[in-house]
């Protein structure tokens, strides 16, 4: 059954991913703030400035989404630990294979139900 290290591992994995996302978010937000002071001189500068700014904005939006997904995963995971259901699909109730739990730490759906969700 669920041993403590097996439960702790996904929490560490999710926490580490959150730290990575936070670091990236911070650096991209800072890059965007720094760009606010720049005034491109030529049309070519303006084009590359806009491209870079748009890329940073898109990345910040994507990272924000990733952050929310990780928070949701962590919330579901902690909830499933409390319910002692970790490793069981929350829709069909079948056990989720260890390989899937390793690949997607904190997942609460088996591969079949995840495909349908």
Segment near Zn ion (CB under 5 A), from 9-17, 53-61, 69-77, 105-113?
105-113
Residue 53 in tokens? 């700014």
Segment near Zn ion (CB under 5 A), from 2-10, 39-47, 61-69, 87-95?
87-95
Based on CB atoms, which residue is closest to Zn ion, 21 or 110?
Answer: 110
Identify whether the C-beta of residue 49 lies closer than 8 Å to the C-beta of residue 38. yes
Helix boundaries (H) for the chain: 4-35, 43-82, 98-103, 111-116
89 binds Zn ion (CB under 5 A): yes
Distance CA 31, CA 99 (A): 38
Among residues 31, 32, 60, 113, which is the contact residue for Zn ion, using CB under 5 A? 113
110 binds Zn ion (CB under 5 A): yes
Based on CB atoms, which residue is closest to Zn ion, 70 or 109?
Answer: 109
Segment near Zn ion (CB under 5 A), from 7-15, 31-39, 76-84, 86-94?
86-94
Per-residue burial over 59-91, b = 16 or more CB atoms within 10 Å of its CB, e = otherwise = bbeebeebbeebeebbebbeebeeeeebbbbbe
Which residues of the shown chain bind Zn ion in the complex (CB under 5 A)?
89, 91-92, 110, 113
């Amino acid at each position: 059954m669920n041993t403590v290290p097996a439960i702790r591992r996904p929490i560490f994995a999710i926490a580490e991913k959150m730290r990575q996302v936070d670091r990236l978010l911070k650096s991209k937000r800072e890059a965007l703030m720094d760009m606010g002071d720049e005034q491109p001189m030529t049309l070519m500068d303006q084009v590359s400035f806009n491209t870079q700014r748009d890329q940073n904005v898109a990345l910040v939006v994507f990272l924000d989404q990733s952050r929310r997904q990780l928070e949701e995963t962590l919330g579901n995971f902690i909830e499933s630990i409390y319910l002692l259901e970790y490793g069981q699909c929350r829709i069909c109730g079948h056990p989720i294979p260890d390989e899937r739990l390793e690949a997607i730490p904190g997942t609460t759906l088996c591969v079949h139900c995840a495909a349908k969700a």
